[in-house]
Amino acid sequence: MIDPAPDQTPSFAAGISLGRRAVAEFVGTAVLAAVVIGSGIAAEQLSPGDIGLQLLENSTASAFGLAVLILAFAPISGAHFNPVVSLADWLGGRRRRSGLGTRELGAYIGAQCGGAVFGALLANAMFDRAAVQIATHHRVTGGHLLGEILAAAGLIAVGFAAGRHGHRVAAVAVATYIGSAIWFTSSGSFANPALTLGRMLSDSFTGIAPASVPAFVAAQIVGALAGLSLMTLLYRPAAGR
């Protein structure tokens, strides 16, 4: 997910073109959006009226799907699937002259947002709903925004630490964290501006009304910066290195 160690090579294979990495980010984010939204729609149909069971079904599918996608795409693009992860990678690499470059950051974020929108449309269509919908679930409260800050901070911290041990460890750690954060945060742990954009286009259990999106994205960015700051402090090289 993130390559924090100054003596490690990037998490994606050296020499892979930006175009191929952008395709991997588009496809991976699209499938992730389809998993998250599709499992939410399925949960509504399978367990009508039981919000707790719907959340269990959605969180289980989301965690398993994310783990598989990280394993599949990390060797190609690093498996970010999330603009705040890419932003943290870019910011974390400025001092070491590593990580994503500015042009790569723009390509990653564009691919992730496009993929999330495509995945949302695909999920809606799979369940015979109108492909383009506008969510009506308003989510912004002080508690929800605090939950998003915590969710994004934890995601970056876990990804930063686990990424030091390779993408297999990161896949398990990040997926497990997201699966649990869907339960322990009041916001449901969106923690991803691209998926937030995609979820705006599905009026389902996992949707978010357009009016709630700007505040959620702002909270996610704040949380990501907090998580990156903490991990930079904790993993700062010892004096003399």
The predicted-structure confidence for 33-60, as pLDDT tens digits, reads as follows 999 999 999 999 999 989 999 999 999 9
What average pLDDT does this structure show over 62-87?
97
On whether the CB atoms of residues 5 and 93 are closer than 8 A, the answer is: no
What average pLDDT does this structure show over 156-177?
94
Instruction: Look at the domain 18-234 and name its fold.
Output: Glycerol uptake facilitator protein (1.20.1080)
Instruction: Spell out the domain ranges in the chain.
Output: 18-234
Phi/psi region, residue 13 (left: phi>0; alpha: psi -120 to 50; beta: rest), is beta
On whether the CB atoms of residues 62 and 36 are closer than 8 A, the answer is: yes
Q: Is 100 helix (H, G, I), strand (E, B) or coil?
A: coil
pLDDT band at 1 (very low <50, low <70, confident <90, very high): low
Residue predicted with more confidence, 200 or 6: 200
- pLDDT at 2 (0 to 100): 52
The predicted-structure confidence for 98-147, as pLDDT tens digits, reads as follows 789 999 999 999 999 999 999 999 999 999 999 999 999 999 999 999 99
- pLDDT at 9 (0 to 100): 42
Please tell me the pTM assigned to this model.
Answer: 0.91
- pLDDT at 12 (0 to 100): 61
Residue 178 tokens, joined: 């997201």
Q: What's the sign of the alpha-carbon dihedral 233, 235, 239, 241?
A: negative
On whether the CB atoms of residues 166 and 175 are closer than 8 A, the answer is: no
Q: Which residue has the tokens 């984010």?
A: 29
The predicted-structure confidence for 203-212, as pLDDT tens digits, reads as follows 998 999 999 9
Above pLDDT 70, what percent of the chain?
91
What average pLDDT does this structure show over 69-92?
96
